[in-house]
Structure 1
Amino acid sequence: MADDKVTTSHVDSEPYRFAEGEPNVLTSEKEGTTADKSDMDRMGKRQETRRNFRHVTILGFSMVILATWEAILATAVFALGNGGTAGLIWGYLIVMTGFGFVSASLAEMASMAPTSGGQYHWVSEFAPRSCQRFLSYVVGWLGVLGWQTAAATVSYLAGKQIQGLILLNNASYAPKPWQGTLLIWAVLAICWVFNTFLSRKLPLVEGLIVILHVAGFFAVIVPLWVMADRAPASDVFTLFQDNMEWGSTPLSAMVGLIGAASCFVGIEAGAHMAEEVRDAAYVIPRAMMWTWLGNGLFGWVMGITFCFCVTDTMSVLMTPLGVPFIQVFVNTTGSVPGATVLTVLMLFISIFGCVAVMATNSRQLFAFARDKGVPFSDMFSQVSPTLKIPLNSVYVTLLFVVLLSLINLGSSVAYTQVISLGVAAMLTSYIISISCIALKRIRGKLLLPSKFNLGRWGLPVNIISIVFLVYLWVFSFFPAAPHPRVADMNWAVLGYGTVIIFAVLYYLVRGWYNYVGPVEYVRKGR
């Protein structure tokens, strides 16, 4: 390997950096700013996509992809079943606080190495040389798994909302599994159009959708405040319930934390779009932190409001509409048209959240393929010369979710359990990447320059993040209820283990020879 390809993260020389005081100016739409060009040069990467995202549009993209207040409504059924209203409210606040530390840790690394690779690239740069190749390879596969299943999750939830809408307006409708699968495909078709033919307009589209995201929050919450019958505040804030009969209310509430955690998993989404953002090292970490704070507060307020509207927990959980928040809308407005309007608003945001998820996972797959991390890497790392996007990676995401959705034909429970493994995969990628930078700090090693520097608080923030994430990781493999039947088991652990085993075997067979890790393309200090 040539000398100019040696990593800076394993040497003691001054890291290669954009010179302090050097003017950071826009060079072109494709190259971005001079700082962007310097970062790509340091990482040994060629700029292939357009840098058409800016401060506001990447913030909008990140907020829509997380969509926390919408997500808390969609996942409330899990928290209400495990912990009740008090478990949902206080559990969400605990999870939000914990993810604040996680977001700060990831944001700092995103500023040090602003690349679409995200976690696997950061692991490669910060892990000890003895294990950087293997760890970054496994994290790369976990990232692919996490983001691919995220697309499956969001498209499934959007399909469920459509079925709930139909049932709301036609009581004789009997939802069929094949109809649910076709609805998933319909949502994917919309995502395909916006991620291919309209890809250049994606920043504008997501910028407009974030306006709807914020306006929709008030459009939903005001009717709930004004029109809903309210449960007593003493019950809402203090009544913890073990509706799933774990035999221990504290245990039930801890299991329920996973519902809130799923609202924040994917907080680093903007980092995977870094090669399409101008002045990415500065913009991306701040977009991540504002997304965490803004969406987090929206979600908590919505969660509290929702809990006040749930006067009868079990009737909401067992709603024939199949979507608890639609039942709450009906109870609140006392009107089918009113509940329909609110649900359509939720559906619209969900669909464009799926559009953003597909964009994110295609960029993460593209980056991993560029570093020879997956089979057929040359094909998946190609960027369309006309659209300037990794088109083949978009197509493989579509194919993956279409094939995965076939499970829904046999069992919707099995499908939701399979796609839930994405949460465990993403949590693992966070744990490993943050552990690597924490280890460098403990060893007193030189870190790369960052425009979002945690300074002396870096190590405590990293350690708190790791402890919090390990806690969530353990509970991500718990079933939704104790003593489950085979059909109700949490099969995420099986899928998670299968992917880990496949990644290790593929690494031993091919990866050992083809994959060197992004760190080997990084240039030395100048």
Structure 2
Amino acid sequence: MNSAARTALPDMKPEERYSMEELGHDGKMPTKGGTAADEREMQRMGKAQELRRNFKFIGIVGFVTILQATWESTLLANYFGLFNGGTAGVIWCTIAVWLLMLCVIASLAEMASMAPTAGGQYHWVSEFAPPKYQKSLSYVVGWCCCLGWISGIPSCGLQLAGIVQEMVLLVYPNADVQALWQTTLMVFLFVIVTVGFNIFFARHLPLAEGVVLFLHIFAFFAFLLTLWIMPEHHATSREVFTTFNDGGGWGNIGVSCLVGLATPIWCFIGPDAGAHMSEELKDASLHLPRAMMWATFGNGIMGIVMLTTFCFCITDLQGLLNSDSQYPIIQVLHGATKSYAGTCVLGSILVILLFFSTVTTIASASRQTWAFSRDQGFPFSSWVRYVPPTWEIPLNALLVCLGVSLILAAINFGSDTAFNAILSVSNAALIFSYIISVGCVRLRRLRGEPLLPRRWSLGKWGGPINDISLAFLFVGFVFSFFPVAPSIGDPKWAANFNWAIVIFAATCLLALLYYVCGGRKKYVAPVSLVKQE
């Protein structure tokens, strides 16, 4: 029945105004703003629709775009890439990571179209892994995914605190604002405020993402024109594209650039964010994969252009690296504008954009935590998974993310080295979940086993794209645990050591311990709820 016919029949019951294609499998209207396809997919996966589907295509594109915040990250997280790699290293590595990450995201997007669920990777592993390993492997992936997302929250808070401190020190060079306790309290503040936004303004999140998406694009051109036009001097093309730097002393430019992969990977990490919001997206199996691809494609172009422009503004790389700041963008902006006010205005725009990137990170982390507790993956899962009917958001999962983030941030009171390890483990844990997810699908393809129906498919290119993704992810995973500089034989090795591998291993051990001591009896592997069709 077309829309005109529906309008002409105002006295019909709501169910009668929908065609059979729009209605659910039982002839009833889809619940909480979904479509018939959403209803069928939730029924197949054995899940109840508990969250309202507030997001549409543009909203979820904005969500993924703002979370990745690629061009902003190229300005805020470039220190490690410049230190290990130089301007040439960080530019060429970022281009390579973008192209390879598109393959990873295409692989994840196909799985998201097969099973659009907030569980994301651990659910996909449960459905696609060999039957013998479906339960145990999905359980470990669920823990790692939650670790990756939750540890990303204080990471974003630390960047927010750092950029604010840099602006204060620019205007007041003698200000005492860099003590560990001061930084930690600022991280606390930003984490509490961003979690509060997710609790009290959840219904307005899609609108906020649309508005911030506009700011994201507008600010890109504002920064680009500032860095193109205002500096008195720019580096030459030869200096920018051929100057490599082995700041860590690895003795090999190739190894140094690989260690510096932390910068470009951080700029593109989190493509699964949209998947964790899929139960709040209308027509998710179609719109979600498209949104993941378009967001990363657009973000990549803007990020590479911005990073290249930024590198042209660096006329003294060693002087920049030898300064006390890990956020050289503030120095570069001030050198370009010659104005404290102009630098602080542009810096404040970065703070706003990063603030909403943190908001989206918390939203994804809470949905991942909620979904895993829905399948009894955590202690006290019945409390964590509770969704107040009038709120229609995973309130308790948000509170868990808040509490764990504050505990992780509190480590910074004692040691910024230990805290930096928490930041590194976010990359490693998410990459691990991608490896297992893509690996399971690739194994099914190799065995000739059928995949689930999907509305967005890689077709005959699925196998090669999965292979490229896995090769890249293995390299990224290994180098996520490398320290900034080699520490063998160094009496201060503990200060330079990347403790991320210890945290990652401890989390896996904790998950295994809980699983053996009773978790295996409580955990409900998602595949056990799936209805075979």
Q: Are residues 299 and 191 of structure 1, via their aligned partners in 2, closer, same or farther at CA, if it must alter by over 3 Å?
A: same
CA offset at residue 258 of structure 1? 2.1
Q: Distance in 1 between matches of 2:201 and 2:79?
A: 35
Structure 1 segments of 4+ aligned residues over 6 angstroms from their partners: none
1:198 aligns with: 201
Q: Distance in 2 between matches of 1:25 and 1:153?
A: 43
Which residue, out of 136, 139, 160, partners 1:137? 139
Please say if residues 31 and 37 of structure 1, whose CA atoms lie closer than 8 Å, have aligned partners that are also in contact: no
Within 5 Å, give how 1:225-374 maps onto structure 2: 225-228=228-231, 229-374=233-378
Secondary structure of the structure 2 residue equivalent to 1:32: coil
Secondary structure of the structure 2 residue equivalent to 1:406: helix
Please say if residues 414 and 488 of structure 1, whose CA atoms lie closer than 8 Å, have aligned partners that are also in contact: no
Q: Distance in 1 between matches of 2:30 and 2:186?
A: 41
CA offset at residue 28 of structure 1? 5.4
Please say if residues 417 and 490 of structure 1, whose CA atoms lie closer than 8 Å, have aligned partners that are also in contact: yes
1:149 aligns with: 151
**Greater Cα offset, 236-245 or 467-476:** 236-245
| TM-score for both structures, normalised by structure 2 | 0.93
Which residue, out of 445, 449, 454, partners 2:449? 445
| TM-score for both structures, normalised by structure 1 | 0.94
2:14 aligns with: none
- Percent same amino acid at aligned positions? 45
Q: Distance in 2 between matches of 1:444 and 1:31?
A: 37
Asked if 1:497 is matched to 2:500, the reply is no
Matched AA of 1:66? Q
Q: Distance in 2 between matches of 1:328 and 1:223?
A: 11
Q: Are residues 29 and 319 of structure 1, via their aligned partners in 2, closer, same or farther at CA, if it must alter by over 3 Å?
A: farther
Cα deviations across residues 14-45 of structure 1 (Å, max 9, x unaligned)?
Answer: xxxxxxx9624694561500110000000000
Q: Distance in 2 between matches of 1:111 and 1:289?
A: 12
Q: Distance in 1 between matches of 2:275 and 2:516?
A: 29
Cα deviations across residues 124-149 of structure 1 (Å, max 9, x unaligned)?
Answer: 00001000101100000000000001
Q: Are residues 82 and 322 of structure 1, via their aligned partners in 2, closer, same or farther at CA, if it must alter by over 3 Å?
A: closer
Q: Distance in 2 between matches of 1:189 and 1:509?
A: 34
Please say if residues 70 and 303 of structure 2, whose CA atoms lie closer than 8 Å, have aligned partners that are also in contact: yes
Q: Distance in 2 between matches of 1:165 and 1:119?
A: 39
Secondary structure of the structure 2 residue equivalent to 1:196: helix
CA offset at residue 50 of structure 1? 0.4
Cα deviations across residues 24-74 of structure 1 (Å, max 9, x unaligned)?
Answer: 469456150011000000000000010000011111011000000111111
Please say if residues 418 and 495 of structure 1, whose CA atoms lie closer than 8 Å, have aligned partners that are also in contact: yes
Matched AA of 2:203? R
Q: Distance in 2 between matches of 1:245 and 1:195?
A: 43
CA offset at residue 471 of structure 1? 0.9
Cα deviations across residues 71-114 of structure 1 (Å, max 9, x unaligned)?
Answer: 11111101100110000110001111110110000000000000
Cα deviations across residues 263-298 of structure 1 (Å, max 9, x unaligned)?
Answer: 111011001000000000001101100111011111
Please say if residues 64 and 213 of structure 1, whose CA atoms lie closer than 8 Å, have aligned partners that are also in contact: yes
Secondary structure of the structure 2 residue equivalent to 1:40: helix
RMSD: 1.4
Q: Distance in 2 between matches of 1:247 and 1:106?
A: 36
Q: Distance in 2 between matches of 1:141 and 1:92?
A: 29
Cα deviations across residues 136-185 of structure 1 (Å, max 9, x unaligned)?
Answer: 00000000000001111111111111111111121121221111111111
Asked if 1:23 is matched to 2:21, the reply is yes
Which residue, out of 83, 86, 90, partners 2:85? 83
Q: Distance in 2 between matches of 1:45 and 1:31?
A: 16
1:171 aligns with: 173
Q: Which runs of 5+ in 1 are unaligned?
A: 1-20
Within 5 Å, give how 1:369-408 maps onto structure 2: 369-408=373-412
Q: Which runs of 5+ in 2 are unaligned?
A: 1-18
Secondary structure of the structure 2 residue equivalent to 1:261: helix
CA offset at residue 322 of structure 1? 4.4
Which residue, out of 207, 222, 225, partners 1:222? 225
1:184 aligns with: 187
Which residue, out of 510, 517, 521, partners 1:513? 521
What is the number of residues matched between the two proteins? 505
Matched AA of 1:247? G
Q: Distance in 1 between matches of 2:80 and 2:142?
A: 29
Asked if 1:74 is matched to 2:76, the reply is yes
2:61 aligns with: 59
Q: Distance in 2 between matches of 1:284 and 1:159?
A: 32
CA offset at residue 193 of structure 1? 2.2
Q: Distance in 1 between matches of 2:192 and 2:373?
A: 24
CA offset at residue 515 of structure 1? 1.5
